[in-house]
Amino acid sequence: MESERRRSPRHPFFAAAELTESTSGARLKACTSNLGPNGCYLDTINPLSVGTIISIQIAHQGQVFVAGGVVAHLQPNVGMGVEFIALESGCTALLETWLREAAPVERRANDSASLFCEGVAPMKELQFN
């Protein structure tokens, strides 16, 4: 199942998102339905192909999270799962804050370690046009 492939849990999180496909520059608007330290799920009737490299901007409560990502899986006419592969400077702390706010109360009480797994590169290592 889906959750068995994830490296970390995701939490319900609803926000506006804008994607830019890296090779064509095509833009797509979507909405997040869940968020985790390594990715999110985007509700859209036109999901991109698995393996598509994107840049993503998620806007929530006046703040904007920016990252590079790759489409990890899709459900036609429903949405797609995106894995974050590079976070823009300053966005790690914002993502951590959003996840703390979205996490169940019992998780917040027990979560003294960082929510992030290794393997997410700094945004400066990738080029998006």
The Cα 104–Cα 67 span in angstroms is 25
Instruction: Give a yes or no: residue 8 inside a domain.
Output: yes
Has residue 121 been placed in a domain? no
* Local confidence band at 96 (pLDDT 50, 70, 90 cut-offs): very high
For residue 124, being part of any structural domain is answered with no
DSSP letters, 88-115, are: PTTHHHHHHHHHHHHS-HHHHHH--S-S
Do the domain assignments include residue 122? no
Q: Please state the pTM of the whole predicted model.
A: 0.76
Binned at pLDDT 50, 70 and 90, residue 54 comes out as very high
- CB 42, CB 31: distance < 8 Å: yes
Q: Residue 17 pLDDT > 90, yes or no? A: yes
Is 128 inside any structural domain? no
CATH of the domain at 50: 2.40.10.220
Rg (CA), the chain: 14
Domain count within the chain: 1
- Residue 88 lies in domain: 2-114
Examine the pLDDT at 42 and tell me if it is beyond 90: yes
**In this predicted structure, what is the pLDDT of residue 65?**
97
In a domain, 109, yes or no: yes
